[in-house]
Structure 1
Amino acid sequence: MNKLIRIDHRFRTRSRQCMMLDARAFSAALLLALVFAAGCKKEETPAPEITVQAEHPEQGTISDHITADAILAPLAQAAIVPKISAPVKKFYVQRGAKVKEGQLLAVLENGDLIGAAQDNKGSYEAAQAAYATATRAQVPEDAQKAELDYAQAKANLDLNNSIVNSRKQLFAEGAIPGRDLDTAQAALVQAQAAYDAAAKHLESMKNVSHEAALKSAEGQLTSAEGKYKGAEAQVNFTEIRSPINGTITDRPLYAGETPAAGAPLITVMDTSSLLAKAHIAQSLAQQMKIGDSATLMVPGIKDPVDANVTLISPALDPGSTTLEIWLKVDNKKATLKVGTPVKVSITGHTVENALKVPASSILTAQDGTKSVMVVGTDSTAHKRSVELGIQDGDDVQITKGLTTADTVITGGAYGLDDGSKVKVGKADDDDAKPGAGTGGDKD
């Protein structure tokens, strides 16, 4: 009996212990369930919306721009080198002076040359007088005398012919002796000889002597004139004049100094317009034509300067295999300086009615493919592959992948996951500041 009582007591004790363990296990399980439920409830919290900037693609004109480095050069330039070596007598201009074509800039010492020119001028005037005498008096007189001699010889010949004829008749009638006929015939022979000589002299005077005399007189006059003009040219060489309109950009010497042989005495540049000279690849040059518009970015000048293409070289530079192009830019206000390095941008191929988006909206993958993020009707961002065309500054042409009805994210797309909830806002919204829109919890 006592044994049965002890067994029952042990059973009851163990039952109570098991019940206590089961209660503790139940409590622990309940606690774990509550914790798990709380975790599940947190994960089911909706993700926050990310603020982005977005707009519809625009449709309009877009142009390709060819850029290159260039140097500004003058429209025209004259580095004046004296043709004779002599000290500078006087300068009439200073560096920076505006000059006109033909204006006297400087004079070299020329006293000896002026004297030589005066001497040759006298010889020239004497030759002019001799030529006038020869052509108006001497040559005509010689020709007239030859004509008179010819006429006289012809008249004498005719007279002797008539005498001989009449004496032949008288001799035949026996009225005169034979010696009278012989005398008349001898006189006829002499008259014939004189006539032949006069005729030859006249013919020579007309065909040879007259022309030779005129050429001789003309040659003497031409020689004297040439010597005089040469001496006068030497004097003119001492007067340094500007061959163009422009500005004096260099005058290295002072009065009294002698310029070195071949060294410029004065440099004149026409800077009313400047030329931006650049070298570009042949493939790019084929997109251009004379008259194309362009702009220059000049150091120290904020706004672009307008220019136009005026020359495209017809041949490649053998050293660089590039083409030289010239762009003309107005410089009447003298704000641009010769020798300034500039950046040129030339308008190339133009596409009308092109679909354009901001360059900030383009995303580039590691394999080089391009895409954009568009906002769907459910306010979620979706990645869409696109193909690009011309890029003009901040605008990029989309040739495939978008329409004007799409809403393209232009700001805040970097690092944005496909399917993320977004709302369109301004760039200065708090949610659009750096650190916002990451999808993480805030502290």
Structure 2
Amino acid sequence: MCGLFFLSLCLSLSACQKNEIEPHVKKIEKIELIPQDLVLVKEGFSIAKTTFTGTIGAINQSSIQAQVTATATAVNVQVGQSVSKGQVLVRLNNQDNAARLAQAQANLRSTEAQATLAQNMMQRKKRLLDQGFIAKVDYEQAVVDYQAQLQNVYAQQANVNIAQKADADGTIFSPISGVVTQRQVDSGQTVTAGQTLFEIVDPNHLEIQAKLPSDQQAALKVGQAIEYNIQGNPTPLTAVISRISPIADPVNRQIEFFARPNENINSLSIGAFVEGNILASNQVAGQLIPLDLIQHLEDQAYVWVIRQNKIEKVNLQVLEQRYSDNLAVVQGLQSADQISRIKFSDINLHQPVTINQK
């Protein structure tokens, strides 16, 4: 009886222990997805880019200064007005220059008359010398007098030329065709020599002016393609590098370069801020995936994928971001990976997945 009781007690305890263990054993259930939850990986290419900032400037522009101190008698143009090359911008009145010109011209006429008289005297003495009425030394003196008077004529002509230029500097012409962007003179105002009167730019020939650190000089090459945006204008634009400075700025160690836009740019964009990328000529292979499925894009980018029917978290190297198309070119995925539109958590790692095709 005692043995039977002991055996019965052991069986009872064993059953109790089994009942206590069984509730802790959980069956791992598969997560069910549908095809619309997944995105297939596609092969693609990315172009290496070097970012830069710059401004829009005019290729042809001119700063016009007064050459003489004078009073403006007529200002013919306004800011925003188009002008042609050679058009009169302003007339300056300087009575001193006009008086100097008149005096120089009078002196020239006087020396020309004296030179003519000396020439006639030389010719007369040459005839007398040939007839034996005067000594040779008298003729030679007449030749010297004529040559001296001739040099005086040349000197006075130079004075006239100088006075004419000073007088002509009172009329200022536009050196280029373009648009007046600054006017710093009014009628009746006295200006001084060297004072800036006008700024003119040619709005039909604009370019991008930018700089790049010297350690990125490998990206600079004449003919290299550029993509950029003008501040305040979201439209993507393109350009081509046209000129590169041969040396780096000794202060900031940056290299200046210029690019010719492929599209027409409004003249109002002159001076506007530009952001862009210099596009490398070589391409890098990668995978194309939706940009909005990448987690922690600015830090350690990753996506949730279904790999071999299990949930995996895959870190990525983002080569290019195409916001307009919601696409990214990345590296780090396998061709058979399926990217999940559903965001999982770390507790779902390696969990089995079934895809319901219905």
Normalised by the size of structure 1, how large is the TM-score?
0.63
Describe the shift of the 1:335–1:225 C-alpha distance in structure 2 as closer, same or farther (beyond 3 A). closer
Give the Cα separation in 1 of the matches to 2:101 and 2:70.
Answer: 17
- The aligned residue for residue 409 of structure 1 is 339
- The aligned residue for residue 356 of structure 1 is 287
Which residue type is aligned with residue 198 of structure 2?
Answer: I
Describe the shift of the 1:44–1:276 C-alpha distance in structure 2 as closer, same or farther (beyond 3 A). closer
Give the Cα separation in 2 of the matches to 1:314 and 1:424.
Answer: 63
Which residue type is aligned with residue 336 of structure 2?
Answer: D
Aligned runs of 1:222-301 on 2, under 5 Å? Answer: 222-259=154-191, 262-301=194-233
Describe the shift of the 1:414–1:322 C-alpha distance in structure 2 as closer, same or farther (beyond 3 A). farther
Q: Does 1:105 align with 2:89?
A: yes
SS at match of 1:272: coil
Q: Does 1:93 align with 2:110?
A: no
CA deviation after TM superposition for structure 1 residue 54, in Å: 2.1
- The aligned residue for residue 123 of structure 1 is 107
Which residue type is aligned with residue 146 of structure 1?
Answer: L
- The aligned residue for residue 186 of structure 1 is none
Equivalent pair of 1:82/1:265 in contact (CA under 8 Å): yes
Q: 1:76 aligns with which of 60, 71, 82?
A: 60
Give the Cα separation in 2 of the matches to 1:252 and 1:228.
Answer: 31
Which residue type is aligned with residue 355 of structure 1?
Answer: G
Which residue type is aligned with residue 85 of structure 2?
Answer: E
Describe the shift of the 1:379–1:144 C-alpha distance in structure 2 as closer, same or farther (beyond 3 A). farther
Give per-residue Cα distances to partners, 1:170-222, cap 9 Å, x unaligned: xxxxxxxxxxxxxxxxxxxxxxxxxxx96x649x84xx964x45532331111
CA deviation after TM superposition for structure 1 residue 228, in Å: 1.3
CA deviation after TM superposition for structure 1 residue 55, in Å: 2.5
Describe the shift of the 1:261–1:53 C-alpha distance in structure 2 as closer, same or farther (beyond 3 A). farther
SS at match of 1:224: helix
- The aligned residue for residue 41 of structure 2 is 56
- The aligned residue for residue 217 of structure 1 is 149
Give the Cα separation in 2 of the matches to 1:104 and 1:332.
Answer: 29
Equivalent pair of 2:33/2:354 in contact (CA under 8 Å): yes
Equivalent pair of 2:223/2:240 in contact (CA under 8 Å): yes
- The aligned residue for residue 126 of structure 2 is 143
Q: 1:396 aligns with which of 325, 329, 335?
A: 329
Give the Cα separation in 2 of the matches to 1:326 and 1:98.
Answer: 25
CA deviation after TM superposition for structure 1 residue 248, in Å: 0.9
Equivalent pair of 1:275/1:326 in contact (CA under 8 Å): yes
Query: What is the Cα-based RMSD across aligned positions, in Å?
Result: 4.2
Which residue type is aligned with residue 90 of structure 1?
Answer: A
User: Share of identical aligned residues, percent?
Assistant: 19
Which residue type is aligned with residue 286 of structure 2?
Answer: L
Describe the shift of the 1:236–1:330 C-alpha distance in structure 2 as closer, same or farther (beyond 3 A). farther
CA deviation after TM superposition for structure 1 residue 423, in Å: 4.6
SS at match of 1:339: coil
SS at match of 1:303: strand
Q: Compare the two structures and name the one with the higher strand fraction.
A: 2
Give the Cα separation in 1 of the matches to 2:262 and 2:88.
Answer: 27
Q: Compare the two structures and name the one with the higher helix fraction.
A: 1
Equivalent pair of 2:66/2:196 in contact (CA under 8 Å): yes
Larger radius of gyration: 1
Give per-residue Cα distances to partners, 1:71-125, cap 9 Å, x unaligned: 3333233222212222211111111111122211011123453343234324334
Equivalent pair of 1:146/1:201 in contact (CA under 8 Å): no
Give the Cα separation in 1 of the matches to 2:344 and 2:24.
Answer: 31
Give the Cα separation in 2 of the matches to 1:73 and 1:333.
Answer: 11
Give the Cα separation in 1 of the matches to 2:203 and 2:41.
Answer: 47
Give the Cα separation in 2 of the matches to 1:235 and 1:424.
Answer: 94
Give the Cα separation in 1 of the matches to 2:22 and 2:229.
Answer: 66
CA deviation after TM superposition for structure 1 residue 362, in Å: 6.4
Describe the shift of the 1:72–1:229 C-alpha distance in structure 2 as closer, same or farther (beyond 3 A). same
Give the Cα separation in 2 of the matches to 1:321 and 1:105.
Answer: 41
Aligned runs of 1:19-58 on 2, under 5 Å? Answer: 43=27, 45-49=29-33, 52-58=37-43
Give the Cα separation in 1 of the matches to 2:58 and 2:356.
Answer: 53
CA deviation after TM superposition for structure 1 residue 63, in Å: 1.6
Q: Does 1:324 align with 2:256?
A: yes
> Which 5+ residue runs of structure 2 have no aligned equivalent?
none
Which residue type is aligned with residue 177 of structure 2?
Answer: N
Moved more, 267-276 or 78-87: 267-276
Equivalent pair of 2:58/2:202 in contact (CA under 8 Å): yes
Describe the shift of the 1:422–1:290 C-alpha distance in structure 2 as closer, same or farther (beyond 3 A). farther
Give the Cα separation in 1 of the matches to 2:196 and 2:352.
Answer: 74
CA deviation after TM superposition for structure 1 residue 315, in Å: 2.2
Give the Cα separation in 2 of the matches to 1:336 and 1:64.
Answer: 31
Give the Cα separation in 2 of the matches to 1:78 and 1:265.
Answer: 11
Describe the shift of the 1:271–1:39 C-alpha distance in structure 2 as closer, same or farther (beyond 3 A). same
Give the Cα separation in 1 of the matches to 2:321 and 2:282.
Answer: 10
> Which 5+ residue runs of structure 1 have no aligned equivalent?
1-17, 153-196, 426-443
